[in-house]
Amino acid sequence: MEVTKGKVAASFWSDKRVFLTGHTGFKGAWLSLWLQSMGAVVKGYSLEPNTTPNLFTEAGVAENMETEIGDIRNEAQIAESMTVFNPDVLIHMAAQPLVRLSYQEPVNTYTTNVIGTVHVLEAARKCPNLKAIVSVTTDKCYENKEWDWAYRENEPMGGHDPYSSSKGCAELVTSAYRRSFFNTENSASLASARAGNVIGGGDWADDRLIPDILNAFEKSEPVVIRNPLSTRPWQHVLEPLSGYLVLAQQLYEKGDELAGGWNFGPKDDGCKPVNWILDKMVAQWGNGASWELDKANNPHEAGFLKLDCSKAANKLKWQPKWSLEESLELIINWHQKFLKGADVRDQCIKEINSYYKQ
C-alpha cells in the first residue's frame, strides 16, 4: 500500500468507483476532473448546472464519467442511483451553499442540506462495497462566537443564518449516522470535512466575491462591495479538494480511527479582508478596474471564523500549498484565458497537475 504522506495518490484512485454528489457545481466539477485524471470510475448525481456559463459544461466534465441529473430530496432516486453504481468511495457535496439565498429560501436550504444528507447516507447504507464516506459541510457549521481563536473539530455546532445552521444540522446527522449505522467492522467509515471560502477559476455562482469581481471587471464596471473589511479564510479550490481526497483515501485504508470531523483551512496568510483581495485583483486585471462601497442595508453576515487544522496536519499530514496571492494570480490568468477562448478542460487539468506535483 502506498504511503501518501498527506498527498493525493493517483495509484489509489485509479479504478476506484467514486460516487459524487454535487458534481455539476463549482467544487464538484473540479473534483470530477481531478478524479477522472487519476483514472477513477466516477458517477455524479446532482441537479442541472444553475448558471450560464458553468464549469461543468465549459470543461466537458460529463465526457469521462457517468452522470445523473437528480435531486437528493428524492429518497428513492438517490438510493437507486447509488446502489446500482455500487461505489467504493462516496463524496457528498450537493447542497444549497449560499448564505443570502438561504434567507430567501430557508425551507429549500434545510430540506436539501439536512434531509438530503439523510437520504444520501441512507442510500450509502445499502452499498455493500462502500468503505469510505466524506460528507462536505463548511467552516460555518460551528457556533460562531466571534472570538479570535481558531475553531477545533470538537467545538459545538451552530449557525446564525439558515445556511450555516443547516450545515451544523448536517454535521449532527452525520455524527448520529456514524454512531448508529457506520460503526461496525463491515460498515463504511464516515467522516465530515469543513473548509472555508473557496476560490478558483470557473466559479460563476451569484453573490460570491470572486465571481462578482470578475463579472464587473468584464463589463468594465466598478465592483460594488458590501463589507470591504470582512476578513475570511480564503483558499484555492484545489486545497480543500486535496483534503477530501487524502481523507477519503486514508479513511478507506485505515477505517474508523479516522472517522469524525476534519478542518481544511488555508495557510495563515489566506485570512485577509475583502479590500486586500480587491486591491490585488484590481492591480492584476489592469484596464481601469475599480471597486466601490455598497450602501444598501444587507442581512447579517457572521464575523471572522478561523479553522484550526492541526488535526489534518498531524494525522493526515495534509497541508495547504498555495498562498492567497498565488491563488488570485491563478484565478485572473484562468479567467483571462477563458475570455480569450482557451480550452477550459485543458486549463483545469494543467492546474490540477501543477498542484499535484508540488
Give the three-state DSSP class for 338. helix
Site string for ligand NAD, 11-30 (x = CB under 6 A): -----------xxxxxxx--
Length of the chain: 358
- Closest CB to ligand NAD among residues 60, 255: 60
CA–CA gap between residue 159 and residue 46 (Å, rounded): 25
- Closest CB to ligand NAD among residues 205, 222: 205
* Interacting positions 99-138 with ligand NAD (CB under 6 A): 112, 116, 136, 138
User: Rounded to the nearest whole angstrom, what is the least distance from the CB of residue 80 to ligand NAD in the complex?
Assistant: 14
Site string for ligand NAD, 28-47 (x = CB under 6 A): x-----------------xx
Q: Where is 331: in which H helix or E strand?
A: helix 324-339
Interface segment toward ligand NAD; rule CB under 6 A; list 1-9, 66-74, 276-284, 316-324: 66-74
- Closest CB to ligand NAD among residues 243, 260: 243
**Dihedrals φ, ψ of 222, to 5°?**
-65, 145
- Is 332:213 a contact under the CB 8 Å cutoff? no
- Closest CB to ligand NAD among residues 96, 242: 96
Tell me which residue has its CB nearest to ligand NAD.
25
* Interacting positions 305-334 with ligand NAD (CB under 6 A): none
243 lies in the site for ligand NAD, by CB under 6 A: no
- What is the total count of residues that contact ligand NAD (CB under 6 A)? 25
Buried b (16+ CB within 10 A) or exposed e, 250-266: bbbbeebebbbbbbbbb
Tell which one of 73, 125, 152, 267 touches ligand NAD (CB under 6 A).
73
- Is 142:136 a contact under the CB 8 Å cutoff? no
For residue 19, count CB atoms less than 10 angstroms from its CB and return exposed for 0-12, middle for 13-18, buried for 19 or more: buried
Listed in sequence order, the residues at least 6 apart from 325 whose beta carbon sits closer than 8 Å to its beta carbon are 269, 280
Closest to 304 (Cα-Cα) out of 230, 357, 356, 242: 230
Site string for ligand NAD, 176-215 (x = CB under 6 A): -------------------x-xx------x----------
Q: Where do contacts with ligand NAD occur on this chain (CB under 6 A)?
A: 22-28, 46-47, 71-73, 93-97, 112, 116, 136, 138, 195, 197-198, 205
